[in-house]
Structure 1
Amino acid sequence: MAAVQAALRAAAAAAAAAAAAVAGEQAGALHPAQITAAIRYCSTAEQLVVLIQQHVGSMDVRHLATAKMMLSRLRCRQPQAYAACVQHFAQFATADTPRNLSNVVYALCKAPAFNRQEHQAALQQQLMPASICHLSAANAQDISNVLYGMAFSGQQLQGHQMQQLMAAFADVRQQAKPQEVSNTLWAVATMGQQVPAAQLQQLLTAFVGVLQHAVPQDFSNTLWAVATMGQQMSSQQLQQLDDALAGTLQRASPQHVANTLWACAQLQFLPKRLLAAPGLAGLLQAGSAQGLANAAWACGQLGHRDEQLIGVVLTEVQQRLTAASSSSNTQALCNTCWAVAVLDLQQHAAQVLQMAQACSSMWSSTTAEEKRQLWQVHTWLLDFQPAGAQGLQGSLTEQQLQQCRAAWDKALQQTARQSGSDFQLSVLAAVHRLPITWQQQPQMEQLSVGSDGATTDGAMLLDITGRTAGGVLVAVEADGPSHFRRPDGGLMGSTQHRNRALAVRCYRLVSVPWFEWAKLQGAEQKQQQKQQQQQQQYLVRLFEQAGVLSPAAA
């Protein structure tokens, strides 16, 4: 009992000293426990600034780290307070612990934006080198905090610094929490860098191992990071994340879900559990216009024809436009229009016209990609609306439509100038060996013709196209991995859209999946003749299925 009473008296004394110090009534030196109590006692930035001014000289590294964290948390806008802590901390930096160093880096990076620039030199010249020197003693949280803080504040790391930090994090990955893994990957992606493939797989394996402790933001940040870095996850890893995330959806924010859908679309993975989750549309509806549009874009990209979700997005975007909400922008509008077109949701054509008209009124902010999206929407409307329809004419001005066409044509020209892949060249050679009489020999990278079967309309650039002696238009598409989603092998949205557009133009489509063609590739020269025979037999079957050849021709 006596020990407890003594502890209470000590705590009361420390609290009294803290209150006096914060009030500026105690100018004498404080002992460490009093400084700690005083920092925690501060409830306003002004109180903390007074404390720092009077007692910074008595603060040790832990006090300085805590003080800077509190300055950031209290949104202090007085740069002198940050500067005083940084200058005093510099005396200890090289001999400090990884935890204190990471806390200081994190606190400075999370400081209000106006202050970050002033601390850049200290971060780059003192704190980062010191942090790297202490990596052998750092744990996962220490390293993650440093990387996350630097990325959050817009800082960059030199290549060798990033390599050292990532190697050290990979070494302690088994002790890392889900947030530490996801924040680390997010930081690397935000800084525009990549993780070496072997390290990435180590970190993803570690993340999957602690999924039961992950929250929606951890899933979202991890997927977003991998997609943004342009790297890959296995279908099994993605499936595990989809299964686990579906169980935490009630704790997810609209942004977490929208970012997850966007990332899955970039990774060509259909998150069936997430998309089937009850209340998904309502959750997204509570988010931003950009988040709604990203969800629609993801559905379009993955060829997921969710009419309820798209309907919610369209209604919400329209309502916000009607309310003149500044949250609607051309990117959100164009992504939504494009998704409707790619998914062939013709019942929403009128809403698409209204959204395109909204784009017309803020045309100066449209990008080349958005103009290409609008041109695809325009051609879709012309293809599938009743005769006499004018597409986006009337929603966009003639000049705006011309700009959309120019952006589309430029992209096709750039693609046409690229050399054909070995896959395409191999398929073309096999097509030429088929028992078909051609009016127009099959050629690569030709523009499509319109529904009249003769006039070039430039809606698509075809891998291989020709016309048989009987006048049949044939499109042979060498469909590589980008045309197929995981895990079910279904066609991506753009590929489904292409197939419908080819049918409208009276093409007989022959799709050659890369994985089927790969089975027919021989490794040895002596197998070449057998390989060609197998390829020809395979193509004959595909041409028969497309109605170009009759079974008798085989």
Structure 2
Amino acid sequence: MLGMAPGQQPRDGDPSRAGLLHHTLATLAAAYLPLVPRLKDAKHCVVPLWACAKAGYWGGGLAAALLQRLWRDGGELMLQANSQGHANMWWSLSTAPLGEVLQAADTEALMNVSADSLLRMGAADIEPQHCSNVLLACARLRRCPGPLLHHLTACLAAQPEANQQDLTNGLYTLGELCEDCGHSPRPQDLQRLAAQVVGWLTGEPRATGSWRQQEGSGGGFIPQGLSNMLLGCSKLGYADLALLRPLADAAGQAAGRHAPAVECLAAEVQQRLQRQPNAFAPQNLSNILYALALLQPERGPQWSAVVELLAAECRRREFAGFSAQDISMSAWALEKLGYRNDQGWFAAAVAGAVQPGVMSAFNQQDFTNLWCTLALVRHRPATALLEGTIAASEALRTQGQGQTCAGLLWALATLGGPHDKRLVDVLVKRLWELLPREVDEQEMSNSMWALAVIGPRALFRYRRFVKRLLRKLARRWNETEAAAVGHGSCARPINTLGLIQLQQVQVELAHADGCSELAGILAAAGGGDSQQPGSLLSAMRYAAEGQEQADSTTSVLQRQVVSALGRLQRQQQAEGVPLVASVAEEQLVEGLVGRVDVVVELAGGRRVAVEVDGPTHFLANDPHTKSCNGPTKLRDRCLGRLFGAGNVASVPYWQWDELRRDKVLQEEYLLGLLSLAPCGP
């Protein structure tokens, strides 16, 4: 019986079976009751108590007598219990009827003794299931012993062997405690718990060096578990995209079997929005968008229509009455739903966010979600949002999480523009404090990449921070590589995007004044050889080469520009004035991550890199602004070093479109672009 997991009701609801069970327990209780005062082992009290709770049997006075024995002598017997004994006692009390048992014994004092005993146990002494069961009991009892809840959450989050059910119960229960009792888990504990869930969802390595085996889709979580975790996150106000995205994907796959039902619900929402839109409170609109983003079954015309209606209603109201979380989660949901074309919607969301009553309510996660969403849709916000974020920097400095600080740095760099030194200082200093345990590999990579985008001065200014990140990543890579070889696995601690970012950072470090030592850290970790199999340098090189292959696909716009350059070259040769010697597209250039769209060699040997910049190289809400766009800025800076000042040219899509496919105008434009005519574009 001690090996059975509490928390489940009897499977058979047959009244005759329940009656027989209670009759049997009554007979046993009559025989056991005289022995209770002489019991000398906690388990001899806890096991019968748990059996009564499982059967729903609270008569005969046995349960009350067992509780009184556990409490006698100040709870001396309870202090002997192991974690399972404590967990079973708490769970039993959480199912007991108030009038029959809880008032017949000093259960308040007994729970206090148990809490003190659990607080003295370390994570190695309390199994994950026991942590989640005590948390669940506290939620049922609506009891909020803060120190115990923090301790159990930390122990659960620190357990590499925690399984899906333990994590599901833990995350869901913390949401219940937050909503019913006002309990707020510590950010670092919640982040570690979320990382455990993400590990199961994505099949990442355990902290012990072994590997999680996914049991089917969703990392082995049952659909109800996925739903409960999402509910827990909602009640906690926890909106970390590192957890929500894989959790949403798993929930969406589980919901695929229920697509018809979801479509019916979407149809009902659409009809009500059309008939009586004001009936939906702001939180209703936000929650529906959030749910649609998580579910995402097969989309039909109706699916798109309801998303459009929801977005239009949010904008019509100008986000009046929306909380900070409502705004940030609505923006996140619409980006995930692929709703990126209406930049006016995101402008309205930002306008709603910067209202005084709303801005002051933004927490660090709300800021991160909103900024990262705006970066993904290429919407540079009004200055007021940056000012509001700077105003909240004191909270970031003392409470910011690794994902929050790294996400904000990444978003600021991606969107480009002036970078407020005060905010960057706060984010970097907070990340320094959180190292080494509370910042994962991707967050380190994002942070370094952001500083590289901001510029060489930033890399030099924060060189101690960058040095620490590089050494940490190199050490972590080598440790994981050794573990992977031992287990025959090919999983890695840094994903492809992170490896490409590191390659770009390595290139920038090699050219930043005062950073030559930093450029050698990764090289030293890999034996100085980027060809060495399994080394971090080798992985970075392969990731960059993979991107170069992906970049080799040419767009219609690029083909038009190359065609016009070819015509210009042939025309000049025919006229005996060969100013354009050669035109080569999709060129690999050593030192550049990616390919050059076109390399034009002019008479005399001068080479010009020509980049054909489509809409993705520009801000979506300011389509003529490219120079500060983060990834493009990094690319152009590198090209400037490789080809020399004045030898990098850009063909913006909107300028090319203005030529209206007029071949003469196109050739004149290109002559000016290459400085072969008096005036450029």
TM-score bracket, shorter-length normalisation: 0.5 to 0.7
Q: Match for residue 443 of structure 1?
A: 585
Q: Could you tell me whether the CA contact under 8 Å between 1:431 and 1:539 is conserved in 2?
A: yes
In structure 2, the partner of 1:290 is 365
Residue 546 of structure 2 aligns to a residue whose secondary structure is helix
Between the aligned partners of 2:555 and 2:248, the Cα distance in structure 1 is: 42
DSSP 3-state at the match of 1:433: helix
Residues 442, 465 of structure 1: 8 Å contact kept: yes
What is the CA distance between 1:339 and its match in structure 2?
A: 3.2
Aligned partner letter, 1:76: R
Q: Which residue of 2 aligns with 1:315?
A: 391
TM-score (norm 1): 0.52
- Structure 1 residues 242 and 373, CA, compared in 2 at 3 Å: closer, same or farther? farther
Shift of 1:169: 4.1
Give the conservation status (yes or no) of the 8 Å contact 1:427–1:478.
no
2:670 is the counterpart of 1:543? yes
The corresponding residue for 2:409 is 337
Cα offset, 1:310, TM superposition: 1.3
In 2, the alpha carbon distance for the partners of 1:394 and 1:322 equals 18
Alpha-carbon contact 1:371-1:407 (below 8 Å) kept = no
For structure 1, which runs of at least 5 residues remain unmatched after alignment?
1-23, 26-44, 55-71, 79-107, 116-144, 178-203, 448-455, 521-533
Counterparts of 1:114 and 1:222, CA distance in 2: 19
Partner of 2:502: 405
Equivalent of 1:371 in 442, 445, 452? 445
Q: Secondary structure at the match of 2:463?
A: coil
Mapped to 2, the partners of 1:338 and 1:280 lie a distance apart of 25
SS in 2 for 1:167: helix
Q: What's 2:555 paired with?
A: 423
Correspondence for 1:213 among 265, 269, 279: 279
User: Measured at CA, do residues 296 and 244 of structure 1 come closer, stay the same or move farther in structure 2, by a change above 3 Å?
Assistant: closer
Other-structure match for 2:348: 273
Structure 2 Cα separation of the partners of residues 405 and 461 of structure 1: 17
User: By how many angstroms is 1:309 displaced?
Assistant: 1.0
**Which residues in structure 2 correspond to 1:125-524 (within 5 Å)?**
152=231, 162-163=255-256, 165-171=258-264, 173-174=266-267, 176-177=268-269, 211-224=277-290, 238=308, 241-245=311-315, 247=317, 249-265=319-335, 267=338, 268=340, 269-270=342-343, 271-277=346-352, 279-280=354-355, 283-301=358-376, 302-317=378-393, 319-323=394-398, 325=399, 328-346=400-418, 348-361=420-433, 362-364=435-437, 365-368=439-442, 370-382=444-456, 390=460, 392-397=462-467, 400=470, 405-406=502-503, 410=540, 411-418=543-550, 420-421=552-553, 423=555, 426-427=559-560, 429-430=562-563, 432-436=565-569, 437-438=579-580, 441-444=583-586, 446=588, 458=592, 462-469=596-603, 471=606, 473-477=608-612, 479=614, 482-483=616-617, 490=623, 496-498=629-631, 500=633, 505=640, 506=646, 507-512=648-653
* Deviation readout 1:232-264 (Å, 9 max, x if unpaired): 987996586255356274432222212223344
Measured in 2, the distance between the counterparts of 1:293 and 1:244 equals 21
AA aligned opposite 2:279 = H
Q: Distance in 1 between matches of 2:397 and 2:443?
A: 25
**1:393-430 superposed Cα distances (whole Å, 9 cap, x missing partner):** 24422662896634757354321122633526734752
Relative distance call for 1:220 and 1:159 in structure 2 (3 A) is closer
Aligned pairs for 1:36-115 within 5 A: 49-50=96-97, 75-76=139-140, 112=173
Q: Which runs of 5+ in 2 are unaligned?
A: 1-57, 60-91, 102-135, 143-168, 177-223, 233-246, 475-500, 507-539, 570-578, 641-645
* Inter-partner Cα distance in structure 2 for 1:472 and 1:495: 25
**In structure 2, C-alpha distance between the alignment counterparts of 1:341 and 1:150, rounded to whole Å:** 32
Instruction: Tell me by how many angstroms 1:311 deviates.
Output: 2.3
Shift in alpha-carbon separation, 1:462–1:376, aligned structure 2, 3 A: farther
Q: How far apart in 1 are the matches of 2:175 and 2:334?
A: 35
CA apart distance, 1:73: 12
Q: C-alpha displacement at 1:223, in angstroms?
A: 4.1
**AA matched with 1:220:** S
Q: 2: CA distance between counterparts of 1:421 and 1:503?
A: 20
Tell me how large the CA RMSD over aligned residues is: 5.6
TM-score of the aligned structures, taking structure 2 as reference length:
0.44
For residue 186 of structure 1, what is the aligned residue in structure 2? none
* Equivalence for 2:128: none
Quick one: percent identity of the two aligned structures?
A: 11
Aligned residues of 1:477 and 1:509 also touching (Cα < 8 A): yes
Q: Report how far residue 159 of structure 1 moved.
A: 9.9
Distance 1:230 1:548, change over 3 A: farther
Q: For the Cα contact (< 8 Å) 1:544–1:550, is it kept in 2?
A: yes
Q: Is this contact kept in 2: 1:299–1:306, CA < 8 A? A: no
- Whether contact under 8 Å (1:258, 1:284) holds in the other structure is no
SS in 1 for 2:610: strand
Contact kept in structure 2, 1:254 and 1:283, CA below 8 Å: yes
Deviations 1:170-225 (A, max 9, x none): 34654x24xxxxxxxxxxxxxxxxxxxxxxxxxx6876666433233343344445
Deviations 1:300-352 (A, max 9, x none): 442414222112213323x12443x2xx1222112222333344443513431
Q: Which amino acid letter does the alignment assign opposite residue 50 of structure 1?
A: P
